[in-house]
Amino acid sequence: MKHTIIMVLLGLCGLQASAQTEEQAFLKAVYDYLDGGTNGNAEQFKGAFVPDAVQRSIGKNGSVIGMSVESLASKLTPGQVMNRQTRIVSWSYSGIAGTAVTETIYPSSKIIDYLNLLNVNGQWKITTRVYSRIESDEEIVSSTNSGSSSASKTSTAKAPAPAAKKKVVIDDGW
């Protein structure tokens, strides 16, 4: 009996450790992106992305603009630390997909990144980055900001019953 209790406790500790490991792996990709850019480490920066990742925003003329990871990484000066502060505002993941919102604060503006990530062969990688440059005093509008939008109101719709746990599907045909 004593042996069974010890085995159960060890098993629970192992589950907790693997959950932390997955969380750490997810956050590593986001921090590699932020820290690689801040510290002029192009390899660390590029390593956070899948090779064909897409980066998009709106240009000065109002049209959608984009840049490859390789092109953006080429703008980094090796070893030069940028005058900016970064932070992860929020993040979440489930199965093989996740998202993170980051804020990069410069002396005169901020860049807000919306990052989509996939777990590719056991490594979390950024697949898309959509970003916005905003004024230093602007804030992110979010459903997590209490009372900041109509989206935060309580819905009267009934939540669907929880579905049975299913196997994660890697390619669903989209």
Two structure tokens written together for 11 = 């098993």
Please state, in angstroms and rounded to a whole number, the distance separating the CA atoms of residues 86 and 84: 7
Please state, in angstroms and rounded to a whole number, the distance separating the CA atoms of residues 41 and 105: 19
Query: Coil, strand, or helix at residue 10?
Result: helix
CB 102 within 8 A of CB 76: no
What percent of the chain clears pLDDT 70, i.e. is strictly above it?
71
Please state, in angstroms and rounded to a whole number, the distance separating the CA atoms of residues 138 and 148: 14
pLDDT at 145: 57
Full set of structural domains in the chain with CATH? 16-137 (3.10.450.50)
- Which residue from 116, 146, 145, 96 is spatially nearest to 48, judged by alpha carbons? 116
Facing residues of 135 across strands? 109
- Averaged pLDDT score across all residues of the chain: 81
pLDDT digits (tens, 9 = 90+) for 128-165: 999 999 999 999 998 875 544 444 344 444 545 555 55
Please state, in angstroms and rounded to a whole number, the distance separating the CA atoms of residues 50 and 10: 36
pLDDT digits (tens, 9 = 90+) for 60-100: 999 999 999 999 999 999 999 999 999 999 999 999 999 99
Per-residue confidence band for 21, with pLDDT thresholds at 50, 70 and 90: confident
- Give Cα separations from 167 to 19, 119, 124, 164, 172 (angstroms): 18, 15, 19, 10, 12
User: Residue range 45-59: average pLDDT?
Assistant: 95
User: Residue range 107-113: average pLDDT?
Assistant: 96
Two structure tokens written together for 107 = 């002396």
Query: Coil, strand, or helix at residue 79?
Result: coil
pLDDT of 9 higher than 60: no
pTM (2 decimals)?
A: 0.73
